[in-house]
Amino acid sequence: MSLLELDAVNTYYGDSHILFDVSMRVEENEVVALLGRNGAGKTTTLRTIMGVLAPGSGTIKLDGKSIGGLPPYVIARMGMQLVPEERGVFGGLTVEENLRIAALTAPARWSLDRIYSMFPRLAERRRSRGGSLSGGEQQMLTIARALVRDARIILLDEPFEGLAPLIVRDLVRISRELAAQGRTIIVVEQNVVAALSFADRVYILNNGHVVYEGTPDSLHANPEVMKSHLGV
């Protein structure tokens, strides 16, 4: 039994059919990259897994328990955290207040010292308001909020988008550290090179359909797939 399993999931926005019979699995301690062009259905997949969107049909199981259609706060308490593309930092609260609020309802939690050891920049800015942080610092804070809850599985939605190369390098390093520690991650990312640098397996979506599953090595060995679905 996989930690996370999707079987023939269909998702709709109103009358628009977005995901078509999407099936995928994620094992414990595995990093899975979900790739595809803009509009392929990647973010919709993460939102459906997290309960932000209810699947129209199909099943989603976390550790063998059905979670399809459950509200996000229930899924979060089961050990899953979504790091959204829009970040959602509380701009009027300090870095430390953002972290403490995230930890309030967590069944288990990381200490702030552990968070700050992984994100030294957040330690430096701990008393700064979220709204005053740079884009890269806000992304660090968003990931840190998921980690402070000791998330069993983390969904990263475009974590490197729009950030300076040096910040991307730091976030890739942190992602690799989390993967090395056995943290289970699903990452949606347009930066294919960065995502493949720490992923164990890859799924590619095209127009809401899964069109490829394999390892990064097998994907690199298949340039036609890269060109057809990723433009690389």
In a domain? residue 207:
yes
In a domain? residue 124:
no
pLDDT number for residue 67: 97
For 189-214, the pLDDT digits (tens) are: 988 999 999 999 999 999 999 999 99
Confidence of residue 232 (pLDDT cuts 50, 70, 90): low
In a domain? residue 42:
yes
In a domain? residue 222:
yes
For 109-152, the pLDDT digits (tens) are: 999 999 999 999 999 999 999 999 999 999 999 999 999 999 99
In a domain? residue 205:
yes
In a domain? residue 123:
no
In a domain? residue 24:
yes
Stated pTM of the model: 0.92
CATH number at residue 12: 3.40.50.300
Confidence of residue 107 (pLDDT cuts 50, 70, 90): confident
Number of domains in the chain: 1
> What number of residues does the chain have?
232
In a domain? residue 199:
yes
**Is the four-CA dihedral 163, 164, 169, 170 of positive or negative sign?**
negative
Residue-number span of the structural domain to which 6 is assigned: 1-79+182-232
> Over the chain, what is the mean pLDDT?
93
pLDDT number for residue 106: 86
Please give the backbone phi and psi of residue 6, each rounded to the nearest 5 degrees, phi first.
-115, 135
